[in-house]
Amino acid sequence: MTIKLYCFGESGNSYKAALALQLSGLEWEPVFVDFFNGETRSPEYREKVNELGEAPVLVDGDFRISQSGAIQAYVTEKSGKFGGATREENYGVLRWVLWDNHKLSSMAGMTRFLMNFLPEDKRPEQVIAFNQGRLKAAYEILNSHLEGRDWIVGDGITNADLSCCGYLYYPEPFGFDRAEWPNIDAWLTRISEQPGWKHPYDLMPGNPSDRT
């Protein structure tokens, strides 16, 4: 049975889940969520797809789960890929997924939204500047951790990598320049060289150009 992923191309959190599915070799297909026209806020979506009113959502037969980290864990359980090789590495992967959700993706997603998807006269410049300061601290941590490493945890790509990279391939400005962070830049290149990798706008339906 084909796994369905409710997602949209502009969503870095959707990309984390979609990329895990794509690289896992599992059979899956995207289901477009019309976020910018309010689909996730509709009573029908909350009743039939996700009571939390969010994307991504994975549906595999009778099994349904939301939140990118939980979806990645399910992909690992089903495919045997992207987990750690040891108990210690498994907890290391979880630690970085949680760090990303709190320190990196949360700031990157919000800042990118404020800078690119709000009307220019409604963009809160002080909030954006504050967020970019938080992001710089996160980039420093990740760049330092990747010194002398190919992957965040262990000797191969894991959910730690698939989570932390979620927003870093997007072209819209939010305070990230790959050239300023050489270890992150090399790591992103390694991920993009994985068989089957696709850019978020090629992997999922939905693109800012669709609304221009």
Tens-digit pLDDT profile for residues 123-164: 999 999 999 999 999 999 999 999 999 999 999 999 999 999
What Å distances lie between residue 200 and 22, 57, 94, 104, 208, CA to CA? 11, 16, 23, 18, 12
The answer, yes or no, to whether residue 11 has pLDDT greater than 90, is yes
The answer, yes or no, to whether residue 209 has pLDDT greater than 90, is no
Residue 212 CA, distance from chain mean position: 24
- Token reading at 78: 């089903």
Q: What is residue 212's predicted lDDT score, i.e. its pLDDT?
A: 66
Name the segment(s) of the chain with CATH classification 1.20.1050.10. Answer: 87-192
Is the C-alpha dihedral spanning 102, 107, 108, 113 positive or negative? Answer: positive
Name the segment(s) of the chain with CATH classification 3.40.30.10. Answer: 3-81+197-211
Q: What is residue 1's predicted lDDT score, i.e. its pLDDT?
A: 82
CATH T-level topology, domain 87-192: Glutathione S-transferase Yfyf (Class Pi); Chain A, domain 2 (1.20.1050)
Question: Rounded mean pLDDT of 35-54?
Answer: 96
76 by DSSP, 3-state: which? Answer: helix
Q: What is residue 146's predicted lDDT score, i.e. its pLDDT?
A: 98
Please say whether the beta carbons of 158 and 83 come within 8 A. yes
CATH T-level topology, domain 3-81+197-211: Glutaredoxin (3.40.30)
Element (H, E) at 58: strand 57-60
In our burial notation (b when 16+ CB lie closer than 10 A, e otherwise), range 63-77 reads eeebbbbebbbbbbe
The answer, yes or no, to whether residue 108 has pLDDT greater than 80, is yes
The answer, yes or no, to whether residue 182 has pLDDT greater than 90, is yes
Is the C-alpha dihedral spanning 114, 180, 95, 131 positive or negative? Answer: negative
Please say whether the beta carbons of 33 and 172 come within 8 A. no
The answer, yes or no, to whether residue 211 has pLDDT greater than 80, is no
